């Protein structure tokens, strides 16, 4: 937002790359923080685990949004052609809603009760 306010030309030129740069910095910062406190083997396994976990989370989130938003996945339809789908899940706010539902589901499945 600071870039947009003070250097609008640069903000327009960078466009979608700004969020990508921010996410890249977060991922690399976390990896560097872990690597600085652990040995090489642990750092490699941590990086692989974090990378695979991130890819898995994005894949599941994208699949849920695609199924709920359009009723299909990889060209395979799960609902009748004239059925109504949740168009909200195709839009950007739908990603946050889907992520919140997946977080609730994950917490419910992993929380142990006595």
Q: pTM higher than 0.85, yes or no?
A: no
Instruction: Give the span between the Cα atoms of 89 and 66, in whole angstroms.
Output: 7
The model's confidence at residue 46, banded by pLDDT at 50, 70 and 90, is: very high
Buried b (16+ CB within 10 A) or exposed e, 33-55: eeeeeeeeeebeeeeeeeeeeee
What are the pLDDT digits (tens) for 53-71? 989 999 999 999 998 888 8
Angle at the Cα of 98 from the Cα atoms of 12 and 76, rounded to 5 degrees: 100
What are the pLDDT digits (tens) for 71-106? 888 888 888 878 888 888 889 888 999 999 999 998
């Amino acid at each position: 937002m600071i870039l947009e306010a003070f250097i609008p030309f640069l903000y327009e030129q960078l466009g979608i790359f700004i969020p990508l740069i921010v996410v890249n910095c977060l991922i690399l910062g976390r990896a560097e923080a872990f690597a600085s406190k652990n040995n090489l083997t642990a750092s490699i396994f941590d990086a692989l685990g974090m990378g695979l976990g991130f890819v898995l989370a994005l894949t599941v989130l994208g699949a849920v949004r695609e199924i709920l938003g359009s009723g299909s996945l990889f060209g395979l339809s799960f609902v009748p052609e004239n059925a109504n789908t949740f168009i909200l899940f195709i839009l950007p706010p739908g990603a946050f809603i889907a992520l919140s539902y997946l977080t609730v589901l994950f917490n419910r499945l992993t929380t142990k009760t006595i």
